[in-house]
Amino acid sequence: MATEGYVTTQDGVRLFFVAVGDGAATILFPNGLYLFDDFAYLASKHRIVFYDVRNRGRSDAVADRARLERGIQHDVDDIDCVRRHFNADRTTVIGHSYVGVTAALYAMRYATRVDRVVQIGPMPPNQATVYPPELSNEDETLRNVLAAIAELQKERPSMDPVAFCEKFWATLRPIYVADPADAGRIKWSRCDLPNERNFMKPMMEYIMPSIQRLALGDADFAAATAPVLTIHGTKDRSAPYGAGRDWARRLPNARLLTVTGAAHAPWIEAPDRVFDAVSTFFDGNWPADAEKVS
């Protein structure tokens, strides 16, 4: 049984959520509604709350700069608002892609409220880091897709917004999977929602600059004492595999699950491995092949 509703943040923004399961442990999946079908299996043992972050999905659109200018830091504090709404003394957080950074920052800032963290394909802790070819995947597929997106942007003024959104995602999907035949399994567009059709503007104006401003030092990493499982595909084009290694190396209680040959959605290439690892971790154990990176 799923329930849905809104959580109101401290500055008055309503965040839309879907909660499923009635387990004792509460798992929060910020910006995770596009992955509901993939990860709802966790509700067999836990209560899992998927919710749209501000300006995304069915959450409130925000125009007030004061409620946007902190970028990802707003999202970090909003996690704690959601935790309190569900009366969870402590919580576990899953973050995919750039929200993997959000989840780690939450573990640093709210350490006493975190049980566990899962990062899947997280962006690097330092955006200035340039990774060698064996730790990144800037291949021909990525170059071709970026070139096609640049051409598509020229058509935007003359296209219906929904049609443009669908075409944009149809062009973008191949970078998220290792095998082009799996591109159709990326169903992340949600083009029926105005926030999703327009998400790039606040992303580029507020979220990405706030991530680029991060200057995390040893004390910041040390503050995140909860166990962190970082899952990263070696062929990730959106967030380099080296980023996963960096998080697992610098966080004091983290391990890395490497998914060889997988891209930005490693559960598509290796579903049993990824889903079993997450379940094992949430049951209180490290997956057998999760490594401590030195």
Range 165-187 average pLDDT: 96
The three-class DSSP label of residue 18 is strand
The pLDDT of residue 123 is 98
Please check the confidence at residue 1 and state whether its pLDDT lies above 90.
no
Contact 227, 117 (CB under 8 A): yes
**Res 100: pLDDT:** 98
Flag whether pLDDT at 136 surpasses 90: yes
pTM over 0.75: yes
Residue recorded with tokens 């040893």: 218
Which among 97, 95, 89 has a CA at the least distance from the CA of 121?
Answer: 97
Q: How far is CA 142 from CA 1, 45, 149, 182, in A?
A: 40, 38, 11, 15
- pLDDT tens column, 244-279: 999 999 999 999 999 999 999 999 999 999 999 999
Q: How far apart are the first and last CA of the chain?
A: 43
Report pLDDT for 55: 96
Per DSSP, the three-state class of 116 is strand
- The structural domains of the chain, ordered by start, are 2-136+202-282 (3.40.50.1820), 140-192 (no CATH)
